[in-house]
Amino acid sequence: MIYLTEFFSAFLTAVMMENLLFTRAIDIPNLYKKRSFQQTLIVGALLTGIVTVSSIPAYFLNGLFKSHAAFVPYMTLSFLLLNGAVFLGFYFGIRRFLPKLFSLMEKFLPFYGVNCVTLGTLLIAARLSSGTKFLSFFGYCFGSGVGFTIALLIMWSIRQKMSLSHTPKTFRGLPITLIYLGIVSLALFGLIGNQLPA
């Protein structure tokens, strides 16, 4: 029961952090333009799978890095290589066993596998896990992927609504997106009860 509590607390923390900040949902360029809801959901599921599978060997690598301080400078590079290897496994696995899904995502799949969503999540989980158990490390990575998928879907719906409205030329593109996300983030912060400093 204690292990499930650790898993779910790490999972919910990661989901909420991802949705409140939207920092990584803006990372992938042109994700929301000319993409359907289904494609956006598939990208989120793919990145959730990559970061979740990567978290298993990353946990053991993190234990090695924490026990030998001389290896710590190589942690980012090793997580990047691990992340790339898992992405290649997903890429060739989808290409071999799910050709319909691969044809749907073939044009933009290589750009989404190794980015700040997957690598950043592993690094944040490694920094947070000073002495935590495997399930909290795994739960944080899985929750971060789920939170990122939710943030992607919110961003996709924002783009759909913005395409139907008349936006002044000066604010088109990234400026109006940042304004809109700022308002949504403040609304989400208000829902969980965070108070601004007086």
In the chain, what are the domain boundaries? 13-167
Flag whether pLDDT at 169 surpasses 80.
Answer: yes
Q: Is 78 exposed, middle or buried (CB count within 10 Å of its CB: 0-12, 13-18, 19+)?
A: middle
Flag whether pLDDT at 11 surpasses 70.
Answer: yes
State mean pLDDT over 90-100.
Answer: 88
Average pLDDT, the chain: 78
Flag whether pLDDT at 125 surpasses 70.
Answer: yes
Q: Report the alpha-carbon angle 152-157-163, nearest 5.
A: 125
State mean pLDDT over 38-49.
Answer: 84
pLDDT of residue 114: 66
Q: Around 133, how many Cα atoms within 13 Å sit in the side-chain half-sphere?
A: 12
pLDDT band at 191 (very low <50, low <70, confident <90, very high): low
Q: What is the DSSP string of 82-133?
A: HHHHHHHHHHHHHHHH-HHHHHHHTTTGGGTSSSTTHHHHHHHHHHH-SS--
Flag whether pLDDT at 93 surpasses 80.
Answer: yes
pLDDT of residue 21: 57
Flag whether pLDDT at 115 surpasses 80.
Answer: no
pLDDT band at 54 (very low <50, low <70, confident <90, very high): very high
pLDDT band at 94 (very low <50, low <70, confident <90, very high): confident
Asked if 58 and 122 count as a contact pair (C-beta separation under 8 A), the reply is yes
End-to-end CA distance of the chain: 40
Closest CA to 146 of 49, 67, 58, 57: 49
Flag whether pLDDT at 106 surpasses 70.
Answer: no
Q: Which residues contact 145 (CB under 8 A, 6 or more apart)?
A: 44, 47, 48, 49, 50, 51, 52, 117, 121
Flag whether pLDDT at 44 surpasses 80.
Answer: yes
Q: Tokens for 12?
A: 């919910």
CA separation for the pair 115, 83 (Å, rounded): 9
pLDDT of residue 180: 81
Q: Tokens for 142?
A: 């899985």
Task: Please state, in angstroms and as integers, the Cα–Cα distance from residue 28 to each residue in 15, 116, 118, 143, following that order.
Answer: 18, 9, 12, 19
Asked if 162 and 176 count as a contact pair (C-beta separation under 8 A), the reply is yes
pLDDT of residue 26: 60
